[in-house]
Structure 1
Amino acid sequence: MIRRSRGYIPLPIDLEFEIPQVLACGGELKNTFCLTRGRYAFLSQHIGDLKNWESLRFYERSLEHFKRLFSIEPGIIAHDLHPEYLSTKYAVQLKHDMRYAICDMRLIGVQHHHAHIISCMVDNGVKGKVIGVAFDGTGYGTDGKIWGGEFLIADYRDFKRAGHLKYIPLPGGDKAIEEPYRMAISYLYQTLGKDFQKLKLDFNRKWNKNKVQILLKMIDKDINSPLTSSMGRLFDAVSSLIRICDISSYEAQAAIELQQEAEKVTGSRLQATGYKYKIREEKGIFIVDTRPIILGIVEDLKKKVAEPIIAAKFHNTVAEFTLDVCKRLKKKTGIDRVALSGGVFQNRLLLDKTLEKLRKNSFICYTHSRVPTNDGGISLGQAVIAAKKYQATGCKPHVACRKSLVVYDER
């Protein structure tokens, strides 16, 4: 499912358990909000990208309509951890609204990828712990970095980050999302150093040397180049590197066109073919080093291997290291249930390959069906996580309580 729009509204999600009345404010992109009452969660229609005053006003009007329609006055507000999201700022503003001062309204921050996984679990009626695989473009991490290629051990209340892609600089911040060639340069630089500029690749011939040098200086001096573990940005880098998409004119263009190239490859000759990668364990967390993948792609480009074949091999590799990390986590924890969520899994080719590998290795897999796998579904996860965290304090909604739940610094 891409959007849970008006045709599904206001059909509730049956949680199969009772929770307090919660407002979950959702994320920034593909925003939805979620209200809960009793054992039901009411997700809003697709609001869209919450980036300006007009969209925020529509958000507020829709929320007030839902509250009246279902007679819900939430005592708990859940929000994303990103402090600059409008949805987060709205939650903080609502907390300090004098109209709610008497209610002891509680503000609970929820990590983006944890919300993704719990959304998938609720969608499937799954309880207990799972291995959560959350692949997307952007999500604010608990370490202040940009997450997006995550392996979690998660339940409805808590999570542990158990694995992720190796951090790579994001030169230009959000600009790198619009211009995938920036991520290709970043990955080449992290893999081969400045020597990558000597490679006789079509990619290198396209770019002015001064432009490349500026990006390298940004990375070296850590100027607007936050670190990211994003799977979406890895897809962008590969797409640009093999001359598919350098500058995006719409969201996820580079990844979509990379998938389309891979789908041109038919037959079984490439089903088991992929690139090398490395996984190391660091402080109990499995780190997937994707630099060998970039090195393998460079070697194929030197050999003039066709783009569809490179794209297909790349998809195979992502599915393979996903299985690899899950097998290691299963051995470590005994958990054989895997929930797959995040916008990258809108890529049906990758999803099918990953499910096939996991199921062949005796994993029980869960994907979305009633709720979007992209950010349109995270408000559901936020609502359930916030409710479970709140219930763990032993408090009752709308009653003054001295117990504190420190999950977000409002300073």
Structure 2
Amino acid sequence: AIRGLGGFHLVVDAANAEAVALLRRRKKRGAKPFALMAATLDSVQSYCRISSRERQLLSSSRRPIVLLEKKENGGLAANVAPGQNYLGFMLPYTPLHHLLLHDFGGVLVMTSANLSEEPIVTGNAEALEKLNGIADYFLLHDREILQRCDDSIVCVDEEQTRILRRSRGYVPAPVTIGDNDVPAMLAVGGTLKNTIALSRGGQVFLSQHIGDLDNERAYAFFRDSMDHLQRILQITPQYVVCDKHPEYLSTKWARAQKLPVIEVQHHHAHMAAVMAEHQLREKVLGLILDGTGFGEDGTIWGGELFAGDRRGFSRRAWLRPIPLPGGEAAIRNPWRIAWAILYSLEGTAKAGKDLPFPGDRDPRELENLAVMVRRGINTPLSSGCGRLFDGAAALLGLCSRIDYEAEAAIRLEMVADRTVVDGFGATARPGRFDGELDWAPLMAALVGEIRRRKEPRELAARFQNELAELWLRALLRAREELGLNKVVLSGGVFQNRFFSARLRLRLKQKGFTVYEHRLVPPNDGGLALGQIVVAREHLKAKTQSEEDYVLSHTR
């Protein structure tokens, strides 16, 4: 364990598969990729292909982790990033790093020093206690770390920098959104990949990556980050802004405060964040694709086509809700989603018995799930597009159980054959492209091709290409009806470079103007920015309404 700038790293030789496997066991980190550090750009280039833009990012003063296309047979241990097409590299950013890498000469795993999903360890005494049994040796120093801060993660997509985790090097640099005459606000983000934000005048200051608020230490870090950001920026918020999900810990915290609370719908916040980044104020189309967000009707949303602006939206199209037998258990075990899709298609507990999956499952287990889906017992419905990726990955035998968030969808992206440009054709498309979009023809086409023993690499590509066509047609329908040509894209699904590239290409071919994130992540790490943008518009509308009322009664 080595003490760094924003916390400790756990470090092993990246070429030693045994050491990497031991680190995974001790850290309780199954298959999630590890970050790597090399001494020089030339060293990185031995293992990855690097564009000029990626070189600039690696060498910049921000020193983020940059996701790079890996070369075959590079010499690093395969279990550093199992099943991945990319490796996350960074260059040294402290004198201690430079000394270590100079003397070592190879590549080091540099992963956050913590147990999985807990905040990074910062103090010497804390490290000796928390990392006992994980680290064999400790390299300590007396430079105190006042605020923990993880490494930032970025990638380059079509020569544009995309931020996937905004932290060290990027915070607390503000995002400018205009309109100085609005009271200061504190936005508390979501529950996954949490960040918070403070506004002052026309600027929004986002915190470093806090993480998932599902354990006591992460929640304590969340509260500490709010106090710290207010103190160093000398901002006293007059309003608190939160998600509408009643079970988010961030929402519960906001509702417990004495300040006025403004609640913002999850996917509208995603949409507004992109609009703020690009200074858009007019009405646009917003395609927001993620796994989970609390909908206006109290159900789980996540495959959403909106028309609207910073102040409001209308829901133009959405995915037909997918059954999630067991709720959270289905998200952790995508085979459950795959089987619920099969059951929805074929209507029998013996659905897909002739397929590799679910032919290998216990028939009694499948019968129990059939009862749950049929009767709606502990089986919430979700329009989340991410769940469709999970189901497809499980049907293709790529991932039946996840070790980390979005693992199934990532595996689907990684195996997709990039030479395949077709989908499944017209038979895989629903009969209408407004309102509820039926995924059944698409999934039936996928299952049919699996029965024909087509290669998973081909089918992973065709599934994603066809899904892009589905959303393209919904956007074309909305443009025809509303005359809106600008499209903003947001949500965790847009971290998938294969799917994003395909959809972006098709949108541009059809003449749409496409806007994507460039300053904050497309995942929930950018949610707090959007929350403040929407809340400010609501507050301005309320103020204007009150002024109009006073004016009308004084004439």
1:168 and 1:187 in contact (8 A); partners too:
yes
More helix by share: 1
Contact in 2 for aligned 1:338/1:365 (Cα 8 Å): yes
**Residue of structure 1 equivalent to 2:512:** 363
The answer (yes or no) to whether the contact 1:26–1:87 under 8 Å persists in 2 is yes
1:189, distance to aligned residue in structure 2 (A): 1.1
Could you tell me which amino acid in structure 2 is paired with residue 329 of structure 1? A
Residue aligned with 1:17, SS: coil
Of 428, 437, 445 in structure 2, the residue corresponding to residue 276 of structure 1 is 428
* % identical equivalent positions: 40
Moved more, 61-70 or 345-354: 61-70
CA contact (8 A) 1:274 1:317 kept: no
Deviations 1:100-144 (CA, angstroms, capped at 9, x unpaired)? xxxxx3211111000011111112222111110010010011111
Matched, 1:267 2:429: no
CA deviations 1:341-369 (Å, max 9, x no partner) are: 00000001111111100011110000011
Deviation at 1:273, TM superposition (A): 6.0
Mapped to 2, the partners of 1:338 and 1:368 lie a distance apart of 12
User: Partners of 2:266 and 2:444 in 1: how far apart?
Assistant: 31
Tell me, in whole angstroms, the C-alpha distance in 1 between the residues paired with 2:480 and 2:196.
Answer: 37
1:229 aligned to 2:391?
no
- Supply the AA of the counterpart residue of 1:254: A
* 1:22 pairs with 2:176: no
Residues 1:385 and 1:303: Cα distance change in structure 2 (over 3 Å): same
Cα 1:58/1:130, change in 2 over 3 Å: same
* CA distance 1:321–1:361, shift in 2 (3 Å): same
Residue 242 of structure 2 corresponds to residue 89 of structure 1: no
Rounded to whole Å, the distance in 2 between the matches of 1:216 and 1:138 is 23
Decide whether the 8 Å contact of 2:184 with 2:239 is kept in 1.
yes
Q: Report the Cα distance in structure 1 between the residues aligned to 2:404 and 2:187, rounded to whole angstroms.
A: 28
Look up the equivalent residue of 1:27 and give its one-letter code.
G
Contact 2:274 2:489 in 1 (8 A): yes
Between the aligned partners of 2:377 and 2:424, the Cα distance in structure 1 is 40
Whether contact under 8 Å (1:76, 1:387) holds in the other structure is no
Q: How many angstroms apart in 1 are the aligned matches of 2:450 and 2:424?
A: 20
Aligned to 1:161: 315
Residue identity matched to 2:442: I
Equivalent position to 2:472, from 323, 334, 340:
323
**Structure 1 gap ranges (5+):** 96-104, 397-401, 404-411
CA distance in 2, matches of 1:252, 1:296: 23
Equivalent of residue 276 in structure 2, options 122, 134, 156: 122
Structure 2 residue 291 is matched with structure 1 residue 137: yes
Residues 271, 530 of structure 2: 8 Å contact kept:
yes
Correspondence 1:4-403 to 2 at 5 A? 4-18=166-180, 19-95=182-258, 105-194=259-348, 197=351, 199-262=353-416, 265-267=417-419, 270=422, 276-280=428-432, 285-394=434-543
> What is the TM-score when the length of structure 2 is the normalising length?
0.67
Q: How many Å separate the matches in 1 of 2:511 and 2:172? A: 37
Superposed CA deviations along residues 201-257 of structure 1, whole A, max 9, x for unmatched, are 110221101111111111122111111101110000000011111011111111001
TM-aligned CA distance change 1:185 to 1:268, over 3 Å: closer
Gaps of 5+ in 2: 1-162, 548-555
Cα distance in structure 2, aligned partners of 1:35 and 1:61: 14
Cα deviation for residue 186 of structure 1 reads 0.9
Instruction: Using the TM superposition, give the Cα deviation of residue 199 of structure 1 relative to its aligned residue in structure 2, in angstroms.
Output: 4.0
Q: Distance in 1 between matches of 2:454 and 2:350?
A: 19
Report the TM-score, using the length of structure 1 for normalisation.
0.90
- State the SS of the aligned residue for 2:403: coil
Shift of 1:52: 2.3
